[in-house]
Amino acid sequence: MKTFEIPTYYRSSFISTIKNLRKEIDPRKKDFTPTILDFGAVQFLIARHFGFCYGVENAIEIAYKAVAENPNKTIYLLSQMIHNPIVNEDLESKGIKFIMDTQGNQFVPWADLTKDDIVIIPAFGTTLEIEERLAKIGIETHKYNTTCPFVERVWKQSKKLGDTKHTIIIHGKHNHEETRATFSHSDKNGASLIIKDIKEAKILEEIILGIKSEEDFKSVFENRYSKGFNVKTDLQKIGVVNQTTMLATETQEIADFLKETMVKKYGLENQKEHFADTRDTLCYATNDNQQATIGLLKESADLAIIIGGYNSSNTSHIVELCEEKLPSYFINSANEIESEESIFHFNFRTNERLNSKGFLPSKNPLKIILTSGASCPDTIVDEVLDKILSYYPNTLSKDEVLKKLQ
């Protein structure tokens, strides 16, 4: 796999050594059991796969290259490069300006941009409408377009569905940048609809079967379907793609459910004419992170700490998996750990920052699951590990722990 040139302060020699040891033993990633770091009084269960993925490292490399290559130009990012505050803050410190926030709210008016400015397309991609707007200004975006290739793969799959006159059902969060971009591209190719979960898939089934009305459809899916969407004709042939950071199991559940819906309506013998079996469009890193989390949860542990940006979709799904099994704390950096008695953490369902006391139970050894999302630098994971270790005197050093692994 390609090696990217990213700032060294995003990498950790300790974490990198652990990852490299696992790669040597299991190069094809068939073993998703965790690595156990035994420091004595505390043990960390480290996920087989976590941290920066291909798409994130590619985006970071391109963004910093844009800064280096254009010292006298104004450089903009359409929105956050990736969903990690540390990376975005560092890019801002290099002089990069953000045109809008993750919800699409404008910081910099389009009228302020000139053809001589540099605009970086983030890893999530962008809409066709924004691409056209930038082209009219005269801004060339190809050179610094960091759209993840796995996002582009979803767009290609959407085009295939559109070419065969299937309506494109997008499993995603409708206000997420990636889903907005995917909808824009799929809408060009065919009728498109965004659904967020299996509950909405069940509502869609009732609409397909005629149990619910067109008015119900418009109410439930308001602002999430193509202009001119025809409920009677556009739900006769469908196929499912997804936002690449969604839960793989949920996407599969939705696809299987809607496939059975078409069987109910048209009969098993006609199912292939009405439902397109698409390959899962989840990105490899999201899938690996989720499989590694499932591997983690097969082990006995006392709590889980998951690190990532609070608006990171792939990280929130890792948290979701962990919360089903044990106390789980979603943090964005070691700064959220106030003391051995107090931790600030994020509830992604309610968008609240919470504070929990006594989060480290009195056990010996204490077993902590530690992992991160695809946009979290390894150095942040390292800092969290160090912060926890600081509360336990007489533990082994990192070098001693690594020697036991080798």
What is the domain-level CATH number for residue 103? 3.40.50.11270
**Residues 155 and 262 reside in one and the same domain:** yes
Q: Based on the structure, what is the number of domains in the chain?
A: 3
Do residues 47 and 65 share a domain?
A: no
Virtual CA dihedral for 252, 304, 326, 331, nearest 10 degrees? -80
CB 156 within 8 Å of CB 209 = no
- The answer to whether the CB of 298 falls within 8 A of the CB of 369 is no
- Residue 239 inside a domain? The answer is yes
**Pairing, β 303-307 against β 328-331:** parallel
Q: Are 261 and 208 in contact (CB under 8 A)?
A: yes
The answer to whether 51 touches 285, Cβ cutoff 8 Å, is no
The answer to whether residue 375 is domain-embedded is yes
Q: Is residue 39 part of a domain?
A: yes
CA dist., res. 172 & res. 161, Å (int): 17
Query: Alpha helix locations (H) across 328-397?
Result: 378-389
Task: Say yes or no: 59 and 46 in one domain.
Answer: no
Identify whether 299 is a catalytic site residue: no
Please say which residue of 276, 301, 334 terminates a domain. Answer: 276
Both tokens of 136, joined, read 């009219």
Residue 101's domain comprises 54-137
Asked if residue 28 belongs to a domain, the reply is yes
For residues 304 and 230, state if they share a domain: no
Is residue 248 in a domain? yes
**Co-location of 130 and 241 in the same domain:** no
- 107 shares its domain with 163: no
For residue 287, the model assigns a pLDDT of 82
State whether residue 233 is helix, strand or coil.
coil
Residue 1 included in any domain = no
102, 197: one domain: no
Report if residue 37 sits inside a domain: yes
Q: Are 187 and 111 in contact (CB under 8 A)?
A: no
Q: Are residues 256 and 171 in the same domain?
A: yes
Q: Is the dihedral of CA 342, 40, 292, 381 positive or negative?
A: positive
Q: Cβ atoms within 10 A of the Cβ of 314, count?
A: 26
Selection from 378, 376, 364, 293 nearest residue 328 by Cα: 293
Could you tell me if residue 340 is inside a domain? yes
- Helix count (H) and strand count (E) of the chain? 14, 15
CATH number at residue 243: 3.40.1010.20
Q: Do residues 309 and 397 share a domain?
A: yes
Beta-sheet strand order (sheet of 303-307): 35-38, 42-46, 366-372, 303-307, 328-331
Q: Among 95, 144, 137, which residue's Cα sits nearest to residue 116?
A: 137
Which domain-ending residue is among 105, 137, 169? 137
| Residue-level pLDDT at 282 | 66
Of the residues 57, 131, 177, 178, only one is catalytic, namely 178
User: Which distant-in-sequence residues (6+ apart) come within 8 Å of 203 by Cβ?
Assistant: 212, 216, 220
Percentages (nearest 5) of helix, strand, coil residues in the chain: 45, 15, 40
In a shared domain, residues 85 and 22? no
Q: Render each residue's pLDDT in the chain as its tens digit; 406 residues.
A: 678 999 999 999 999 899 999 999 998 888 999 999 999 999 999 999 999 888 899 999 999 999 999 999 999 999 988 888 899 999 999 999 999 988 888 999 999 999 999 999 999 999 999 999 999 999 999 999 999 999 999 999 999 999 999 999 999 999 999 999 999 999 999 999 999 999 999 999 999 999 999 999 999 999 999 999 999 999 999 999 999 888 888 999 999 999 999 999 999 999 999 999 887 676 777 788 889 999 999 999 999 999 999 999 889 999 999 999 999 999 999 999 999 999 999 999 999 999 999 999 999 999 999 999 989 999 999 999 999 999 999 999 999 999 998 8
Q: How far apart are alpha carbons 165 and 206 in whole angstroms?
A: 22
CA distance 337 to 329: 10
**Domain final residue, candidates 96, 117, 137:** 137
Same domain as 94, residue 129? yes
Are 59 and 129 within one domain?
yes
